[in-house]
């Protein structure tokens, strides 16, 4: 079974440009999460989808970030316009819906974003 995949693995852009990150969850996983790690710091929660609905977007830094999950399958995270402080590693995770409080999250390899 394929794991969570993310594209691209690396992205280098200039300040002011737009970047779109993609996440493909494990097939059948209703829950999809985005996290970000700024260099050397903690991995921070950005948002959580259940199918195509945003369940919790409390971690989104500002309105330059837009996450979508059309059709409840893959998700995109767009940063427009990118700023220097957006540099970091963006992780995606997915989990099945089991009806319990906790569902194990499976992480992708991350996308390293560098804004120059």
Can you give the binding site for another protein, defined by CB under 8 A? Answer: 3-4, 31, 33, 35, 40-45, 48, 55-56, 58-59, 91, 93, 95, 101-110
Shortest CB 116 distance to another protein, Å: 24
Residue of 95, 89, 46, 49 lying closest to 68 (CA atoms): 49
DSSP 72: G
Minimum CB distance to another protein, residue 56 (Å): 6
Considering the complex, what minimum distance in angstroms separates the CB of residue 18 from another protein?
A: 27
Residue nearer to another protein on the CB measure, 71 or 100: 100
Q: Pinpoint the alpha helices (H) of 15-109.
A: none
Beta carbon nearer to another protein, 14 or 85: 85
Q: At closest approach, how far in Å is the CB of 3 from another protein?
A: 7
Rank residues 82 and 113 by Cβ distance to another protein and give the closer one.
113
Q: Is 85 left (phi over 0), alpha (psi -120 to 50) or beta?
A: alpha
CB of 19 or CB of 110, closer to another protein:
110
How many helices (H) does the chain have, and how many strands (E)? 0, 11
Neighbouring CB atoms inside 10 A of 15's CB total: 12
């Amino acid at each position: 079974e394929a794991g969570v995949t993310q594209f691209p693995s690396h992205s280098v852009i200039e300040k002011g440009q737009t970047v779109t990150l993609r996440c493909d969850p494990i097939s059948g996983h209703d829950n999809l999460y985005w996290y970000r790690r700024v260099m050397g710091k903690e991995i921070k929660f950005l948002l959580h989808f259940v199918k195509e609905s945003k369940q919790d977007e409390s971690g989104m830094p500002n309105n330059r970030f837009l996450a979508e999950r059309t059709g409840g399958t893959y998700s995109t995270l767009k940063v427009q316009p990118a700023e220097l402080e957006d540099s970091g590693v963006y992780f995606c995770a997915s989990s099945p819906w089991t009806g319990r409080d906790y569902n194990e999250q499976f992480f992708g390899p991350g996308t390293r974003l560098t804004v120059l």
